[in-house]
Structure 1
Amino acid sequence: MTAADLRKQADIAPNTLTRMKKDQTVTMQVFERICDVLDTDFGDVVEYIQDDSDERT
């Protein structure tokens, strides 16, 4: 399946797919749609990587 096919089947806007490719923020709803199309679990499509540059005080 191509990225374009996934985008169409999951009803994701083209700019949202671009945001994903640039490692920018997208909503959980987007990942829910992707999981539905791929018939997979959230953990199979998402990896959490802590941002060490984000200093919290």
Structure 2
Amino acid sequence: MAISYDKLWKLSIDKKLNKTQLRDCSGITSSTLARLSKNKGVSLEALERICRALDCEIGDVVEFVEDKVSLNE
């Protein structure tokens, strides 16, 4: 399973926030923002800050998706 933050980016667009504004309003670091942009894992604390800033639930910003790598390769 892989992590996807596509929902976060769609929600940010709906709230008219660019990534810098999201970082500033949620209080996350630039390195956390970079990890989010690469669909890498981040701390639960960072996700909590984002959810508080956007007034949403964790399922509104992150989801698990099937890996696109084939096991036969």
Q: Say if 2:48 is the partner of 1:32.
A: yes
**TM-score, length of structure 2 as denominator length:** 0.64
Aligned counterpart, 1:14: 30
Deviations 1:1-55 (A, max 9, x none): 11101101111110110011111111011110000000011111111124486xx
Structure with greater contact order relative to length (CA < 8 Å, sep ≥ 6) = 2
RMSD (Å), alpha carbons: 1.5
Mark the runs of 5 or more structure 2 residues left unpaired by the alignment: 1-16
Give 1 or 2: higher strand fraction: 2
**Runs of at least 5 residues in structure 1 that lack an aligned partner in the other structure:** none
Q: With the length of structure 1 as denominator, give the TM-score of the two structures.
A: 0.80
Number of residue-to-residue matches in the alignment: 53
